[in-house]
């Protein structure tokens, strides 16, 4: 998926504001939106759908590759919309996959600042996947080929505040991940 031609796809990342998006100092990475008609992209969406119990393929947002170069980050944020209730003509991101495609940095993981785990009580093998020295949250290490999955909404359909997360900045090197978002079903008009 990452080829010399893919470099031309990346543009400065934006953040969503209502029905529009804007460049923000909160998110300084670069993003490439992938072509939804590409057979590889369709297969990835199909696999994400299958993992979730066969969600409708139409409820998946176009896939985004996100690249973090040295110093670039996405400060703590939620993937779901912050306001309740969601207007009738809009949807919520109900789940997130974040797959690591490449990482040449060590300290550029994905951090969940509101989660707490006492790693001294857990199997030490977890430390190859998480930073067991992070006592102020949970930081998932950027390991190429691995993916994170989480639900953005609680059982009542409200945004789960525990999903606050940040894309940490590489000191050196790069991290490229793939965002796969599933939305609440769209209303038929």
Other C-beta atoms lying within 10 Å of the C-beta of residue 24? 16
pLDDT in tens, 62-92: 999 999 999 999 999 999 987 656 667 778 8
Task: Give 93-123 as a DSSP string.
Answer: EEEEEEEEEEE--SS--EEETT----GGGS-
Q: What residues pair up with 181 in beta bridges, in sequence order?
A: 96
Distance CA 42, CA 36 (A): 6
Q: Which domains does the chain have, with CATH numbers?
A: 31-183 (2.60.120.620)
Which tokens hold the place of 61?
A: 């947002």
Tell me the whole-structure pTM to 2 decimals.
0.89
Distance CA 20, CA 123 (A): 44
Distance CA 175, CA 34 (A): 17
pLDDT in tens, 133-174: 998 899 999 999 999 999 999 988 889 999 999 999 999 999
């Amino acid at each position: 998926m990452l080829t010399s031609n893919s470099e031309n796809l990346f543009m400065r990342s934006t953040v969503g504001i209502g029905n529009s998006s804007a460049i923000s100092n909160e998110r300084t990475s670069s993003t490439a939106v992938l072509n939804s008609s590409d057979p590889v992209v369709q297969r990835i969406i199909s696999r994400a759908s299958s993992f979730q119990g066969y969600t409708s393929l139409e409820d998946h947002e176009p896939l985004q590759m996100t690249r973090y170069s040295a110093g670039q980050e996405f400060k703590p944020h939620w993937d779901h919309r912050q306001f309740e209730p969601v207007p009738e003509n809009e949807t919520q991101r109900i789940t997130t996959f974040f797959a690591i495609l490449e990482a040449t940095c060590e300290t550029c993981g994905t951090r969940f600042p509101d989660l707490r785990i006492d790693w001294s009580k857990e199997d030490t093998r977890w430390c190859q996947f998480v930073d067991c020295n992070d006592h102020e949250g949970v930081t998932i290490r950027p390991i190429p080929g691995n993916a994170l999955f989480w639900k953005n909404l609680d059982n009542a359909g409200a945004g789960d505040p525990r999903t606050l997360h940040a894309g940490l900045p590489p000191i050196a090197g790069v991290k490229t991940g793939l965002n796969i978002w599933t939305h609440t079903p769209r209303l038929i008009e």
